[in-house]
Amino acid sequence: MAAQGAVLGLESSCDETAAAVLAGDGTVLAEAVLSQEQEHARFGGVVPELAARAHLRHLPRLARAVMDRAGLAPGDLAAVAATSGPGLIGGLIVGASFGKGIAIARGVPFVAVNHLEAHALTVRLPGLIEGGAPEFPYLLLLVSGGHCQCVAVEEVGRYRRLGTTLDDAVGEAFDKVAKLLGLPWPGGPHLERLAARGDPARFALPRPLLGRPGCDFSFSGLKTAVAQLVARGAAADARGKADLAASFQAAVAEVLADRAAHALAMLPEARALVVAGGVAANAAVRAALAAQAEAAHGGRKVRLVAPPLRLCTDNAVMVAWAGIERLRLGLADPLDHAPRPRWPLDEMRGRGGAEAGRDAARPPGLRRR
């Protein structure tokens, strides 16, 4: 029997090709992610044209695979959701166009999903978080790819940016420092493994903006400090590399925790600190944020909420779920919606958008509760 209100999610914003099918209540019926890491590793980073071609080659197969695994036929779909920004424009065009084609063929709604909103809403997936999903509003520390922001998540479609990076994003800093240490791309996971063998107190690295008002970030100076130490031979042997990796990771974790504390002070109604994005998978970062969340914040209790590791990096489960969240508010998108390489969260449409309130047009299982 087909799952009521099944939604197909498609992700192709960078170098992961992904598809997933969720039931209308958020139950994950099937998911698949294909990493393009090997195709880009020899270039030391993502090559947009190669990424787009890989999405074009693999996305239809992955979509068929998750539909088969879920026991669904194309006619069982209630909607299609595809990442439509921000990201590499070639990949976005591939995923959005493929999703629109399915929506046209089946006569179902199409949802153009903001990749950052998908990260922001992942923790609301039913049954995912012990203790239940956080209530609005909550503070989001978004550490995904080239993004590093503190965001007030007020409701679906309503976001207020409190602070952002002034230069490098934290994920970029991890990759650049990993390259300085001679580690393979992508650098973040390799640096974390190396840091586990090092002494985080050996090198006194700067903590940019630590204790400063507001919750903006800066990582360029920290990266430069590591580069200077490498130039002076600090990473000439295995011990030096491990200690420098650990010292860098400790500095990043302390800065992120400090900035999150300032952001919590700016959002006194928040009872949860949500961390999302690829860097959220880093254990040292999670530990520092957990300690910060446990500290007193104006007499209120704040808990750290993070998705499971598989949903920190790019995936289609979060895309399908964001689609479901928006469809419940009547926020489907026209088929001429153009993918956007830049799409700030504070430009999203919420329940007051032009398409809100059309309950009669919603597929079964996706009507407002």
Q: Any idea what the CATH number is for the domain that residue 232 is in? A: 3.30.420.40
138-144 vs 16-22, strand pairing mode: unpaired
Residue 219: C-alpha distances to residues 168, 223, 341, 357 (Å):
6, 6, 23, 43
pLDDT at 368 over 50: no
Q: Any known ligand binding at 247?
A: no
Of the chain, the percentage scoring pLDDT greater than 70 comes to 93
Q: Any known ligand binding at 336?
A: no
Fill in the amino acid letter for 30: A
Q: Which of 139, 236, 248, 146 is nearest to 190 (CA)?
A: 248
- When divided into structural domains, the chain yields a total of 2
Q: Any known ligand binding at 357?
A: no
Last-in-domain residue among 306, 330, 351: 306
Q: Is the pTM of this model over 0.85?
A: yes
> Is 367 within the bounds of a domain?
no
* Sheet containing strand 272-276, strands side by side: 158-164, 147-155, 138-144, 272-276, 303-305
Backbone angles phi, psi at 77, to 5 degrees: -75, 140
The reply to whether 216 and 351 lie within a common domain is no
> Is 346 within the bounds of a domain?
yes
Owning domain of residue 16: 6-121+312-361
- Contact yes or no for 203/229 (Cβ under 8 A): yes
Cα distance between residue 14 and residue 114, in whole Å = 13
The reply to whether 293 and 319 lie within a common domain is no
Backbone angles phi, psi at 307, to 5 degrees: -65, 160
The reply to whether 320 and 223 lie within a common domain is no
| Burial class, 340, CB count within 10 angstroms (exposed 0-12 / middle 13-18 / buried 19+) | middle
pLDDT, tens only, 82-134: 999 999 999 999 999 999 999 999 999 999 999 999 999 999 999 999 989 99
> Is 1 within the bounds of a domain?
no
- What confidence tier does 349 reach under pLDDT thresholds 50, 70, 90? confident
Of the chain, the percentage scoring pLDDT greater than 90 comes to 85
The reply to whether 80 and 149 lie within a common domain is no
Question: What's the rounded mean pLDDT across residues 133-143?
Answer: 97
Question: What's the rounded mean pLDDT across residues 212-230?
Answer: 97
pLDDT, tens only, 284-305: 999 999 999 988 667 788 999 9
> Is 259 within the bounds of a domain?
yes
- What confidence tier does 358 reach under pLDDT thresholds 50, 70, 90? very low
The reply to whether 103 and 151 lie within a common domain is no
The reply to whether 244 and 340 lie within a common domain is no
The reply to whether 158 and 273 lie within a common domain is yes
> Is 129 within the bounds of a domain?
no
* Mean pLDDT, all residues of the chain: 92
The reply to whether 156 and 277 lie within a common domain is yes
- What confidence tier does 230 reach under pLDDT thresholds 50, 70, 90? very high
Question: What's the rounded mean pLDDT across residues 303-332?
Answer: 96
Q: Any known ligand binding at 146?
A: yes
> Is 128 within the bounds of a domain?
no
Q: Any known ligand binding at 145?
A: yes
Q: Any known ligand binding at 35?
A: no
Q: Any known ligand binding at 175?
A: yes
Q: Any known ligand binding at 95?
A: no
> Is 325 within the bounds of a domain?
yes
